[in-house]
Chain A
Amino acid sequence: MDQTTRVKTKRETAAATQPTGGFEDIILEQMPRLWPVALRFCRHHELDAQDLVQDTMIRAYRYRDSLSVADNKFAWLRRTLLNTHLNRLRSSKRWDDRADLSLAEEIPSFDPMPTSGLVTDAFRKDLWDDEVLRALDSLPEIHRTVLLLADVEGLSREEVAEITGHPKGTVSSYIFRARKKLATVLEQYGLAHGYLKDEDLKREQAGFIEAMENASKMGAM
């Protein structure tokens, strides 16, 4: 064994004996829950998701003392992963705050039509799997991200605002727009592929308008 190898082995041995507080155990335990989150935010590109997870682990290792005392280790790691992802997006210029501002129109004071129940029902069907992902990927990055954070990860408006660095009101607008856009994309897909029928949608719409008119007559509006 030459000198270099001997030194390297000593160094590795010394590093390996540093106390880590079961860091690897925590990581191995949480990875099955963390991996789908990474995949979702990386548009299901495995290599990107792997890069993201690795960057997250470097950060997590640096702050492992905080992780070891965290009550909810998954939430801690997910938060670190999301912050890492957003930082990567910003540095890759895919997250253009100035361009995104134009997408943050205020929530309209009156949204007359709810999302079609027919779209929701069709959306739940298994045969829409890939289309759901494609529909989601067709949204602008900011809309896609806030939708995932709020509706898939279940974060509060305050948490989404903190992670994205946007005011809470702006986040609410983004979420509203993202849901509407996703519903529109799915409806168009459903119509084009025969999962939805135009006359059914019109009938449903007419029923809702009638309900609104009745409510108006009763003085609720």
Chain B
Amino acid sequence: MENENNINETEKKETVQELSITVPEKKKEKSELLGIYVMLSILLLAVTASIILSAVTLNTFMTKSAEVAAVSAEIDDEEHDESTTKENDVTIGGEYVIRSTENISDAYKSGDTSSLNDKDKETLDMAEKVLKEIIKDDMSEYEKEKAVYEWMVDNLGFDTGMLPVIPTTQADCDNPYGVLKYKNAVCVGYATTFRLFMQMMDIPCMVVHDTSEGHSWDLVQLDKNWYHTDIYSDQGNVKYVNFNMNDEMCEMSHDWDRTFFPAAESLKYNVIYNNAKEEKDIYNIPKLIKEALTKDEKYIALKLSSTISDTDATIAYQMVDYLNYSMQMTEKYMNYKLICNFAKLDEGYLFIVSISKISDESVNMTNLTEEQKKKLTESFNEAFGADGITFNLDDFINPYAQDYSDIADAATYPYENSVNESMGDESNDLVNP
């Protein structure tokens, strides 16, 4: 019994000892486990917070993407709607709006101005005053149109304030009120004013705009045929070059929606065409240009014979381009600019070369500063020096000093011979025959 008790005591002691050994270990293990649980909990919280933040950011991104997509779709719809061409309520150059003035012309024809506001009444009075001055009762529709064209070219200014990013054009430069009051206009002003005059005289007229909505001009109907007239482009340049053009002439420098605007197929009332000279030899063109320069004429207009091929017509165009370039390399002609237009006729071509002179005060190669000359020389030589083309500004200004003997045989470039022959002593002899 005693032994059993001893054994029990021993066992108890052992158990207690085991327990006393186990408890600290277990406590240690427990505290470690607790630590792990705490850290894991913090980690879990951190990861959860990270996921939530990412989700919020992603949601914001998705929302904004959806907004952008919605706005883009709206814009696409609007653009689709706006792609349907119309004559009025079109904004040109992002700033100038083509607006109808039929209320004014209707009031003029009916004699009833009660529906007009004060501004429109004043517009009508100014337009009526012009018509009284320039229009005679016995004039044909063409003569009336030409009279208006000439009045506008002679009396209106050229507002270039539309060029800066934030335009500085005067108020109302895009409508007849401002044009007639201040005598200064952008293209929309010219086009809408011309249309007002035509409509007051019952001559059908539309304002045309180009496909990029950067420019506008007129289409006027005479004897059931439509003609393009761009008075703004003729202002300050050569008269009649853009007057009563057919589509072929107009498309040399304009583009428009031909599915909307009527076709212009006639040249019956085109001044240039009616005064053009017959020409059978394209190699006479430089001589004719030289004569025009001598007489200080503003253009030459030729009806190239039907015997002249399409290739020859293209060569003629290139010839003028070459001559323009060559002239600008001479002191005498460097301020002149040649612009060539040609349009296919039923037989042959109508070929027009307008001659304009840039202001003497403009920058040209003779009045550059030393710094500008140096930069010009360096930039040309850097770009083309390795190709064996050297650039020397003194030679550029004085081309006679250059040796062109290594340039290809003149026989390859017959039009350069005609250029050299016609320009005589002023020739820069770019090609030595």
A binds B: no
